[in-house]
Structure 1
Amino acid sequence: MALQLLAALALLTGRALSHGGLANYTVGETWYRGYDPSTPAAEQLNQTWMIQRQWASTDPIFSVTSPFLACNNPGVPPPSYIPVRAGDNITAVYWYWLHPVGPMTVWLARCDSDDSPGGDCRDLDVSAARWFKIWEAGLLEGPNLAEGLWYQKGFQKWDGSPALWPVTIPKGLQSGLYMIRHEILSLHVEFKPQFYPECAHLNVTGGGGLVPPKEVLVRFPGVYKEDDPSIFIDIYSEENANRTEYTVPGGPIWDG
């Protein structure tokens, strides 16, 4: 029933938006409403049901140095958290997605710590947060970057059903308060990458004692560079005509 409701919502709202966006999250059979840039902010901000940071439009972020690269613009924090157990799936639910090429990544950042037990994600500066990647997908197969099948292409739905992006919270992850960040990087325009990040707040329970090492912790902005060939690229160029491999930017995955 929940997914049928989401499908209807995706069909209705998807037609009005140019790029699409992360509309809701599901954990098991429970779904959590995200921010909707087509609805007045006053009807959403500070509502007890809100679990996602505000993103004011479906427009992309173009700069790797943008102060909104972490959690979109303006990134106003929500009052509530999605409860999820370590080892369980959380699924991001998108309105229809238009773009076909580029990598997709999922990140976590801890809000509380041993130095600040009980730290609230609402008080955390997302640009100062230390993020670690827990999932990635890029080019899956094909003759080259322009004609190959990207996960982003397979993620698309054109029948009115929601595009679902499931990821597992690392089973051994230390319990606590976290932000989860989903990012789609679209590369369909040469040398003009388009970043689409959205963030939500999580209360992770049932975890182990594992924390990611410092070597995998990054900041947004900071981790992406202007000379990164995986970001600033012309996938249609003669140079890439026979290229069948692609490195997802942002460093390695930490899966606990």
Structure 2
Amino acid sequence: MQLSLRLSLLALPLIHMAAAHQNMHQIWVNGVTPGYEKCIRRAPSNSPVTDVTSAALTCNVNGNAVPFTDVDVCAAAAGDEIVVQWDISSHPSPITHFLFGPVSDAKTATGVGQWFKIAETDYENGKWPNEVMAANEGKHSFRLPAKLQSGDYILRSEMLALHGSQSLGGAQFYIACAQLKISGAATASCAPKISLPGAYKAADANIYIPNFYNGFQPANYTAPGGPVATCT
């Protein structure tokens, strides 16, 4: 085999890995989008976060470098449908969404602290969410809780690529944050809440999965972050 061909074949896995890295680029609120990468704290690269103790676990690398004066705050209302669009990935991944807030100004909120989960999709009907999204232009939809206190929030979208989870520290967190101003009730409370960073541990059973390619049952999998919160 010629040397150039051998080198090309060796490079194929690396090309595949790079192509599977991803970012979130766009959101829609009730079918209306503010535009490409509007209201989103843009990550500096499409590389994953793997250190669950890092502040980057909240809103990706540099995602806490407030104020984000150049990032708009999108209007939404409690109960609205949200659509997020991610780069297409071949890596098996659940997708979860969290809110941080309410705060007085989303542009100055670091996101380090208390979050609550508002939506989760795991392995369903024989497919991971990334597979379903790949057939839908990378899009995924969910709804904001019907009861939320009015105010600014950070919306956190997380896709956890599990192809490397058989190694401790190998799971890949792809994270994006959007800034929202949500109209809702004068008072509302959502629980449970979790601390990010802090709630995730590298050895958690849904992050470190030694048997992922040897006996793992995906139908029994539940993404990190605890249960979806109840808002009253």
TM-score, length-normalised on structure 1? 0.73
Matches within 5 A, 1:185-200: 185-189=160-164, 190-191=166-167, 192-200=170-178
Instruction: Give unpaired runs (5+ residues) of structure 2.
Output: 1-17
The CA distance in 1 between the partners of 2:193 and 2:221, in whole Å, is 22
The CA distance in 1 between the partners of 2:177 and 2:229, in whole Å, is 18
Matches within 5 A, 1:79-228: 79-95=71-87, 97-112=88-103, 119-128=104-113, 130-142=114-126, 149-157=127-135, 162-189=137-164, 190-191=166-167, 192-207=170-185, 209-213=187-191, 216-228=192-204
> How far does residue 218 in structure 1 lie from its aligned partner after superposition?
1.3
> How far does residue 177 in structure 1 lie from its aligned partner after superposition?
0.7
Which residue number corresponds to residue 213 of structure 2?
236
Deviations 1:203-255 (A, max 9, x none): 11144632113xx11122111012201101131124x2x56411222111014
The CA distance in 2 between the partners of 1:243 and 1:94, in whole Å, is 22
The CA distance in 1 between the partners of 2:123 and 2:218, in whole Å, is 11
Cα contact 1:54–1:73 (8 A) shared by 2: no
Aligned-residue sequence identity (percent) comes to 29
**RMSD value over aligned CA atoms?**
2.1
Instruction: Give unpaired runs (5+ residues) of structure 1.
Output: 1-15, 36-49, 113-118, 143-148
Q: 1:230 to 1:105 in 2, by over 3 A?
A: same
Cα contact 2:155–2:177 (8 A) shared by 1: yes
> How far does residue 88 in structure 1 lie from its aligned partner after superposition?
1.0
TM-score, length-normalised on structure 2? 0.81
The CA distance in 1 between the partners of 2:147 and 2:123, in whole Å, is 28
The CA distance in 1 between the partners of 2:183 and 2:226, in whole Å, is 26
Structure having the larger proportion of residues in strand = 2
Which residue number corresponds to residue 116 of structure 1?
none
